[in-house]
A and B are shown apart, each in its own frame.
Chain A
Amino acid sequence: MSTWRKPLTKAEPVARRWCVHVLPERCKGCSFCIEFCPRKALESSSQLNSKGYRPPRLIEGATCVGCNFCAMICPDFAIYSGPEVGDGK
């Protein structure tokens, strides 16, 4: 019997990648998500939606951790965080 133990961290850990999904036409620009994002990862986008509000977008280079607080605090059901599309997990 081999006493050689298998290393617990054999596989390289893969960090799950998250991003925010925005439904721009529902946004009313209250900016709760931008203010209360724990990672301060959101900003107003430069484009207006059809009602004239600026929906949020992920700041380039900022990390979304998928806490989904933006979805909870959004009064208009316009934003949520989820796994990045193409993230196979």
Chain B
Amino acid sequence: MEMKETHPIDDLIRTDRIPHIWCSGCGIGIAVHCFLNAIRKSGIPPKNFAVVSGIGCSGRVAGYVKLDSFHTTHGRPIPFAVGLKLANDRLKVVVFSGDGDLIAIGGNHFIHAARRNVDITVICVNNFNYGMTGGQAAPTTPVRARTSTTPYGNFEFPFNLAYLAAGSGAVYVSRWTTLHAKQLEDSMLEALGKKGFTFVEAISPCPTLYNRMNKLGTALDFMKFCKEHSVIRHGADPKTANIDLRGDIVVGRFVNVERPTFTDFLEEGLAQGLPHRKALLDEERKEFEHE
């Protein structure tokens, strides 16, 4: 065994902050690795990327990637990302955050960004609870699941994130578990290359809180469960694509459609109504390309 102190992905992570704070077996690290590999494969220079994260375990992603990254307030990575995109539409803006941040506190921002079809990629790491604050119930917690705020089981039905995104108007929706590392990477690559609101959900184990409280075993047990109970169903209706942690998890690429984006309409409107502003914008773009 050869001992080496560098890793091939080291040029895209802030190695001075590694090892990261995520628990042993947490899937966020896998999702980050997939994302960084997708960036490398996309051929787009890393300086053209901007990563925006909110609060929570997954919110720390922005601090670990060696890209232009922003750690925003709770639930607000999407408005921040939309602002970035509108200010400089040559940037590839990626929102990398968790389910509690994007869907609970930032739920409205999420559906409205999808409705407007703003040209951003949203990667949501779903671990079924609020991990960082102590395992409270989230809108993604399955019904009857135990969390620290639902000791007698959760009485609420959870959101199906893929269905929510597709119903709100996302042009690309896919879901993978963190065990499907290769598929997750390919999915992120596809989402990065697509125009419009693209959404990738990564199901991650939360060994310290959710798995422990629901007797799902260690992170390794959860990964084995994912291996045995994942059903790949490309093009399935997201409405029927359920996540059942006692049954089957439906994964795959559910939606891949074309729809004019917010930027397209903006340009059209500018060209018609404010042609001098449009000329200014085009000039700015040229400058950006020259840099």
Tell which of B9, B28, B179 touches A36, judged by Cβ atoms closer than 8 Å.
B179
| Residues 1-21 (chain B) with a chain A CB within 8 angstroms | 1-10, 13, 18-20
- Find chain A residues with CB under 8 A from B19 CB: 25-26, 28, 51, 76
Secondary structure at the A interface, as helix, strand, loop or mixed, is mixed
**Contact B28 A32, beta carbon cutoff 8 Å:** no
Contact with A along B152-184 (1 / 0, CB 8 A): 000000000000000000000000001101100
- Find chain A residues with CB under 8 A from B3 CB: 21-24
- Find chain B residues with CB under 8 A from A35 CB: 220, 223-224
B119 CB-CB contact with A under 8 Å: no
Report the minimal beta-carbon distance from B228 to chain A, rounded to whole angstroms.
13
A contacts, CB < 8 Å to B: 19-26, 28-32, 35-36, 51, 53, 57-58, 69, 71-78, 80, 82, 84-85
Sampled A-B contacts (10; CB under 8 Å): A22-B1, A26-B7, A30-B220, A32-B25, A72-B33, A72-B185, A74-B30, A75-B26, A75-B28, A75-B178
Assuming the contacts A25-B19, A26-B19, A32-B25, asked whether A77 and B1 have C-beta atoms less than 8 A apart, the reply is no
B contacts, CB < 8 Å to A: 1-10, 13, 18-20, 22-30, 33-34, 37, 178-179, 181-182, 185, 219-220, 223-224, 227
Assuming the contacts A73-B30, A74-B30, asked whether A23 and B5 have C-beta atoms less than 8 A apart, the reply is yes
**Contact A30 B24, beta carbon cutoff 8 Å:** yes
